[in-house]
Structure 1
Amino acid sequence: MQSSQTWIQALFYLALITVSLYFLQFYILSDRLMVSHHKVTLKKHPNLPLRFNSDGTFKILQVADMHYGTGLTRCRDVLTSEFEWCSDLNTTLFLKRMIDAEKPDFIAFTGDNIFGSSTNDAAESLFKAFGPAMAARLPWAAVLGNHDQESTMTREELMSFISLMDYSLSQPNPLDPTKQQVTTNIDGFGNYDLRVRGPPGSHLANQTILNLFFLDSGDRAVVDGFKTYGWIKESQLSWLRGASKEHNQEKYESEVSTFPIPSLAFFHIPIPEIRSGQFREVFGQYHEHVACSMVNSGVLKTLVSMGDVKAVFIGHDHLNDFCGNLDGVWFCYGGGFGYHGYGRAGWPRRGRVIVAELKKGKSEWMGVGSIKTWKRIDDKKLTKFDEQILWTLS
């Protein structure tokens, strides 16, 4: 009789354990499903097309070299009194302050957005680095530098991922119009152009009046046994010339505006001519030896022949924030923005602002009349300095 009771108790406990494991498995699975469902979201798109404001302005914030780590990665090259409390969060706060102060229409991130060797999760770092732009619901676009791919994603994966982020207008590469798919016969990842139309309600509302070109300047390479930085290849320049020609044809076909369509370009690594320093004019600080490729692929020659690119905005050399004029094209450094990137103690991090303004006729806008720029440093007042005019319609 006692043996029978023991057997019944054993069955009872076995059944209890089985039921408990079933419900535990159910709740764990349900929780995973809910988490998975929570993470599956559609991309949020900005209001398109990009266009000038009703006051005739279009403002761009350039953010160069954030070098974002994990979010709590410590700062480099700051004053001893600043080091204890300084991290990637200072970069985030600086970007938020710049957005609040300048209220840009568009943000251009010009490479080394994350410092790949300082994070073991590239996606998480990208979300944190670009977080303020997405939180502000601003259209933005990015190119890659030479450090972005040093974590868990290749350059192709990075640009594909960035193109899918909220409010991003980035593209892995231009679309092939004949196949309606991304072009595969072009070097690099992140070559594309964005068009900016006229103010709402104006006769220019449906016309492209400013172009923004983005190019992948590569990362590192070996040439004849020597290590060097990347460069913009001929396939990219060929695409650029074709895109420029297409835009210029639009100008001549327009019945309303006979004004030229100016363009701006954004990439990370400077060209060799900047190192040689054959500038017509220089405006700003030149504190650092220019780190460029030993290969001169003819970028400057191409831009001069095209005629529409009035200014190029670059990064890479954090201690340079100058604009230099080479054969009529301005090349402007953004200056180091991020706190985990190298800098100089006592030399504040900085960002650049670019503003295109339309020319006003007797009764209507007449196309882009000027392009100007200035910088702000990360101090208590976000001090504005070095304002200059890059181009005016002659």
Structure 2
Amino acid sequence: MQSSTKWIQSFIYLTLITISLNLLHILLLSDRLIISHHKITLKKHPDLPLRFNSDGTFKILQVADMHYGTGLTRCRDVLSSEFDSCSDLNTTRFLKRMIEAEKPDFIAFTGDNIFGSSTNDAAESLFKAFGPAMDSGLPWAAVLGNHDQESTMTREELMSFISLMDYSLSQPNPLIQDPTDPTKQQIMTEIDGFGNYDLSVWGPPGYQSANQTVFNLFFLDSGDRAVVDGFRTYGWIKESQLNWLRGASKGHNQENHQSQEIPSLAFFHIPIPEIRSGPFREVFGEYREHVACSIVNSGVLKTLVSMGDVKAAFIGHDHLNDFCGNLNGVWFCYGGGFGYHGYGRAGWSRRGRVILAQLKKGKNEWLGVETIKTWKRLDDENLTKFDQQILWTSS
């Protein structure tokens, strides 16, 4: 009887200890010991490769200088009647409207995507700035401007992070064959900057060109700021980047196995010195402010002209310029200030640019790119479409 009583007491004692430990775990330790019940999410990828539509078109939305802050950061240079209700959310709303109105196939962000000094969390700002693009499920890519790195991430960290975001085709730098394993690729290290890469656009499905590149998009890091001979200046595209660009262009055209070159576009942030000095063959659009560029001329224009395949380059940086100017046969087009936290001019609407490439129609086949057109839209009540122009034709 005594033995039975001791066994019951021991059982009750052990039960109380077990219950106490479980309560302690639930009340004090669960947050640190239990693996989160949230679903692990992987990066969402767009349908690849990029390709022209069955109607022979490929449309790009260029977004320049969003200057996104925290999401609630106040607007700059708007009418006094708009100021109290204006924030980064106006930029978000504008981007959503542009996506809905134009239904682009691809979105190109050309730098100063976030305004680093206005946020203490670069990652959170990037998610908010690129949110509409990710929500749309459209493929998109970005380069950096001169303000993106002013928060909590370096330029290398920013491009790595952006490359991992949903539907992003951005790359920290070009991929090259791993010398130790031909079946693998690695990121090129012998190149200046972060965010140098290229994307190929294939022909429409169901046609002979469906399995080959018919259009190229080059992305380049134009840097942020530098000191040259004691003078503070803006960044520039370096020779190592131009060497890569020449090689990539030559490689694409050799792969084409056709007599005609593959037309290409380039995207970067800071204008080249010739945009300041000219002379332009033609100018189309608003030239409202002094061109802010580097004092270093690294030969970008000379390189693009000698390559011959880049028909137009799309830039940002100077928010009050939205013109396209032709230099030696290459068009340089500003996106115009898109973001409300970036500087502007009160009463001068924020704006975005659209680029449309159209293939030439053969008897039973889509042929190469025939025309490249562009236009802009204002963030007004009607998303006013204006300044439509043809940048290039194959003929």
Q: TM-score, normalised by structure 2?
A: 0.92
Runs of at least 5 residues in structure 1 that lack an aligned partner in the other structure: 1-10
Which residue number corresponds to residue 87 of structure 2?
A: 87
Decide whether the 8 Å contact of 1:71 with 1:88 is kept in 2. Answer: yes
In the alignment, residue 208 of structure 1 is paired with which amino acid?
T
Tell me which residue corresponds to 1:289: 290
Q: CA deviation at 1:18?
A: 6.9
Structure 1 residue 64: deviation in Å? 0.1
How many Å separate the matches in 1 of 2:252 and 2:62?
Answer: 24
Partner of 1:3: none
Distance 2:280 2:226 in 1: 27
Counterpart of 1:360 in structure 2 is 361
For residues 345 and 63 of structure 1, what CA distance do their matches in structure 2 show?
Answer: 20
State whether structure 2 residue 74 is matched by structure 1 residue 74: yes
- Determine the structure 1 residue equivalent to 2:277: 276
Shift of 1:19: 6.3
1:33 match: 35
In structure 2, relative to structure 1, the CA distance for the partners of 1:19 and 1:362 (3 Å cut) is closer
- Aligned residue number for residue 381 of structure 1: 382
Corresponding residue for 1:8? none
CA deviation map 1:225-247 (0-9, x unaligned):
00000000000000000001111
CA distance in structure 1 between the partners assigned to 2:326 and 2:30 by the alignment: 65
- Find the aligned partners of 2:22 and 2:250 in 1 and give their Cα distance: 72
Partner of 2:117: 117
* Alpha-carbon distance between aligned partners in 1 of 2:366 and 2:22, rounded to the nearest angstrom: 75
Which residue in the other structure is 1:104 paired with?
104
Q: Secondary structure at the match of 1:33?
A: coil
Query: Helix, strand or coil for the counterpart of 1:23?
Result: helix
Which string of whole-angstrom CA distances, capped at 9 and with x for unpartnered residues, describes residues 274-324 of structure 1?
A: 001310000000001000000000000000000000000000000000000
CA distance in 2: counterparts of 1:209 and 1:80, whole angstroms: 48
Inter-partner Cα distance in structure 2 for 1:151 and 1:135:
24
Instruction: Describe the SS at the equivalent of 1:21.
Output: helix
SS of match in other structure, 1:46: coil
8 Å CA contact 1:60, 1:105 repeated in 2: yes
Give percent identity, aligned residues only: 81
Q: How far apart in 1 are the matches of 2:232 and 2:25? A: 60
- What secondary structure sits across from 1:162 in the alignment? helix
For 1:215, the equivalent position in structure 2 comes to 220
Q: 1:184, 1:20 → 2: CA distance? A: 53
What is the alpha-carbon distance in structure 2 between the residues aligned to residue 100 and residue 250 of structure 1? 36
1:206 equivalent to 2:211? Answer yes
Equivalent residue, structure 2, for 1:6: none
Q: Secondary structure at the match of 2:305?
A: helix
2:172 maps to a residue whose letter is P
The residue number in structure 1 matching 2:5 is none
- Aligned pair partner of 1:194 in 193, 196, 199: 199
Deviation at 1:21, TM superposition (A): 3.2
Taking only aligned residues, the RMSD between alpha carbons, in angstroms, comes to 1.6
How far off its partner does 1:259 sit? 3.4
Q: Tell me, in whole angstroms, the C-alpha distance in 1 between the residues paired with 2:118 and 2:245.
A: 34
SS at match of 1:355: strand
What is the CA–CA distance in structure 1 between the aligned matches of 2:51 and 2:59, rounded to whole Å? 10
Answer with 15-24 or 44-53: which moved more. 15-24
Q: Residues 120-141 of structure 1, C-alpha deviation per residue, up to 9 Å, x if partnerless?
A: 0000000000000000000000
2:145, 2:75 → 1: CA distance? Answer: 19
Separation in structure 2 between the aligned mates of residue 339 and residue 376 of structure 1, nearest angstrom? 15
Distance 1:154 1:219 in 2: 11
CA contact (8 A) 1:259 1:366 kept: no
Correspondence list, 1:174-323, <5 A:
174-179=174-179, 180-251=185-256, 253-254=257-258, 258-323=259-324
Structure 2 counterpart of 1:21: 24
Structure 2 residue runs without a partner (length 5+): 1-12, 180-184
Shift of residue 28 of structure 1? 2.9
Alpha-carbon distance between aligned partners in 2 of 1:19 and 1:234, rounded to the nearest angstrom: 64
Report the Cα distance in structure 1 between the residues aligned to 2:32 and 2:156, rounded to whole angstroms: 34
Give the letter for the 2:326 counterpart: N
SS of corresponding position for 1:390:
strand
**1:5 alignment partner in structure 2:** none
Rounded Cα–Cα distance in structure 1 between residues aligned with 2:390 and 2:214: 19
